[in-house]
Structure formats: C-alpha cells, structure tokens
Structure 1
Amino acid sequence: MKAEALLFGGVALFFGGSALLYGAWSRDPAGTAVLIVAFGMAALVSFFCAVQYRRRGRRPQDRGDSEVADGAGSLEFFPPHSPWPVITALGFAVACTGVVYGLWLFLIGAGVLARGVLGMVFQYATHRR
C-alpha cells in the first residue's frame, strides 16, 4: 500500500496546487471548490493507504522476491448475509428522490441512509479474525 499512498499523495498535491493557482488567478468559487474537494478525496485515499501500510506492513505484491503462493489464503472477513447494503441503497434512493420532491423526503432518506451505513460499519465490530 506504500506505492498507492504515494501515488494518491501526489494526486492530492497536484489538486491542491491547482486549487491554489486556479483560485488566485480566476477568482471562480465553483471551480476552486471542485478542486478543493478533489484534493480532499485524494488525500483521504492516500491517508487510508498509508495507515493500512503501517498496520499490516509490506504485502507480497510489494516485495520483489515473493511468490504467487505468498498471497494465497484468507484475505479478509466478508459477511455472507447482511441486510445493511439493501437498507443503505434504499436510503440513498429515497434521499436522491427527496432532492427532486422536497426536503421532508430527503431527510427521511438521509436518516435511512445513515442507519444503513452505521449498520454496515458496526455489524461485526466485535468480530475477531
């Protein structure tokens, strides 16, 4: 994950520098905001990859002397049955529909979406590998 962290860190620096230059020269708030959001998203991915690299160390893909068999085995824990992805999708659909039809529907959808995301995040919070 070190290579990915550096790659996305470079992308984040590019978008950050572009946002500074674009904002200073054009005085366009919309374009500057888009570049700042792009910087934030790339920085977030870079931070995640860096944290995973620190936690888990080098992967077999990162080593030149590794074999294909070194990457075999259990990768992660994937739940076999979970209602939370369906609830999250339903909340997202209702929230998007609420953008068209009114704030009241958007707030209902946002609540269902938040519950679905929290359900997915904490479904196996006590699960041990």
Structure 2
Amino acid sequence: MQLRYSFRLDPTPAQRIALARAFGCARVVFNDALALRRQAHADGSPFVSDGELSKRVITEAKKRPDRAWLGEVSAVVLQQALADATMAYRHFFSSVGGKRKGPKVAPPRLRSRKDNRQAIRFTKTPGSRPGRS
C-alpha cells in the first residue's frame, strides 16, 4: 500500500532558496537524463541503463566544475528525478506497445524553468523507492 500526503508549506526566505535550488537541480538531472537517452536513440546506440545513466548524469556531473552545484542538494532529490525520467520512458514504451490501458502517452518532455508545476520527492532513505520495502 502506498500512502501519499499533501502539505501546504509556508517557507521562510532561506527555505525558499533551498527549495528553489532543489527544484532546479532536479529539473537539470531530469533534462540531462532525457537528453542522454534521446542522443543514444539518435545515434542508434542501445538504451542507456539506469546505472549508467545515474553514473553519467549525477556522479560524473558533480565532479565537473560547471555542474559542481549539484552536490549542494540532497542526493535523494537527484535520484528521484532520475527515477521519474525512467518511469516516464517506461510509461511511454508500455503505451506504445499496447501494454498500458487508456490513451496513448506522448514521449517525455523536457522540464521548463518557466513552468510553475515544480515537484521533488523525498524518501525515507536514499536507496528506497516508493512501494518497495
């Protein structure tokens, strides 16, 4: 059983900055994952595995000077953004293959800075995923 809670937050100015940083980092990781998978598809390369994607988009990106700021947020946020990108592709492929009920799902789109729908997810521990114990 999965539980979901919705909260309305009234953050302090310092918390607003921390949340904005987390939203931005999650957006960048999600967009990098989509770009990497799209590039692999365009090159005719095999589908990039989740482990390889995590290594290239999170671990190696934190070591680059232009993306060092990814290390300032919780790793959980980055891992969940990567999991969201993976699930978006899985839903798309199952929709195209006819395994998913309902209308066809479009391929995943890049997340925009200008879109007000910003979301991040936290789990109890960095390695756990919702619905798994």
One fold, TM greater than 0.5?
A: no
Larger helix percent: 1
Which of the five TM-score ranges fits, normalised by the shorter chain? under 0.3
Higher relative contact order (Cα pairs below 8 Å, separated by 6+ residues): 2
| TM-score, reference length from structure 2 | 0.26
Q: TM-score, normalised by structure 1?
A: 0.27
Query: Max radius of gyration: which structure?
Result: 1
